[in-house]
Amino acid sequence: MMDALGAGEWLPGALIPSEAELAARFGVSQGTVRKAIDEMSGENLLVRRQGKGTFVASHDDPRARYRFLRLRSDDGLPQQKRSQPLSCGLEKADAATAAALDIPPGDPVVAVERLLFFDMSPVVFDQMFLPAEIFGELTLAMLEQEGPVASIYRFFEQRFGVHMIHAEERLRAVTATAKAARLLDVAPNAPLLLVERRAYTYAERPVEWRRGFYTTKRHHYHNELG
């Protein structure tokens, strides 16, 4: 089933075959198929819908649209999220980017910069690096056409056929560079939270490395454990 997902046989949002059909295809019992689907649902690879069947998970689902974004407002109130793309272009991968994306140093990558707003306040300055082998046709105009409230992972899924299934992050405290301070409307050298994220598609392939600079004046990073 994982091979079918990785090969694009079942696209994000698509209904997968029934348990009986899958059992016949793989020569196993329906109970075995059901257990596999349960495990894949727990990993956000599949989504069960009562009375409709099992579907491939998609970032088009509002429940999953921001599941990798863990920033919350201190007052706990919901806030409208919107993004503003700033730049997009090709560059050569430096050593850190190459290691994160598992590509040779010097290979072309697409570098994207954007601001993320909660209501009217800029709270995240993102620097994203994507392998040009997959995202080489990405342009700033494409990102701007998506509109300010679109999920970038939903866009990657629909335009490039890449579904981000999980991510790992490293967090550390840093001080704001002059550029980050200007974009986030904080003082130079103000404390920021740096979130370095590596996102994976099927077969544990890293397809995005991101450096997000978070201002925590009125927000905090929220995670649930267990």
Q: Output the tens digit of pLDDT for each of the chain's 226 residues.
A: 888 887 778 888 889 999 999 999 899 998 999 999 888 888 778 888 888 889 888 776 655 555 678 888 999 888 898 999 999 999 999 999 999 999 999 999 999 999 999 998 999 999 999 999 999 999 999 999 988 777 899 899 889 989 888 899 999 999 999 999 999 999 999 999 999 999 999 889 999 999 999 999 999 999 887 6
DSSP-derived secondary structure letter, 56: E
Candidates 216, 191, 220, 196; CA nearest to 206 is 196
Element (H, E) at 135: helix 132-135
- What is residue 14's predicted lDDT score, i.e. its pLDDT? 83
Backbone dihedral angles phi then psi of residue 203, each to the nearest 5 degrees: 65, 25
Residue type, 64: A
Q: What is the spatial distance between Cα 172 and Cα 61, in angstroms, rounded to a whole number? A: 31
- What is residue 52's predicted lDDT score, i.e. its pLDDT? 86
- What is residue 127's predicted lDDT score, i.e. its pLDDT? 98
Q: What is the spatial distance between Cα 55 and Cα 47, in angstroms, rounded to a whole number? A: 5
- What is residue 121's predicted lDDT score, i.e. its pLDDT? 93
Report the 10 Å Cβ neighbour count for 178: 9
Q: Are strands 121-131 and 166-175 parallel, antiparallel or unpaired?
A: unpaired
Q: Are strands 166-175 and 108-118 parallel, antiparallel or unpaired?
A: unpaired
- Structural domains in the chain plus CATH codes: 2-56 (1.10.10.10), 71-221 (3.40.1410.10)
Q: Are strands 219-221 and 71-73 parallel, antiparallel or unpaired?
A: antiparallel
- What is residue 138's predicted lDDT score, i.e. its pLDDT? 97
Q: What is the spatial distance between Cα 53 and Cα 30, in angstroms, rounded to a whole number? A: 14
- What is residue 84's predicted lDDT score, i.e. its pLDDT? 95
- What is residue 188's predicted lDDT score, i.e. its pLDDT? 93
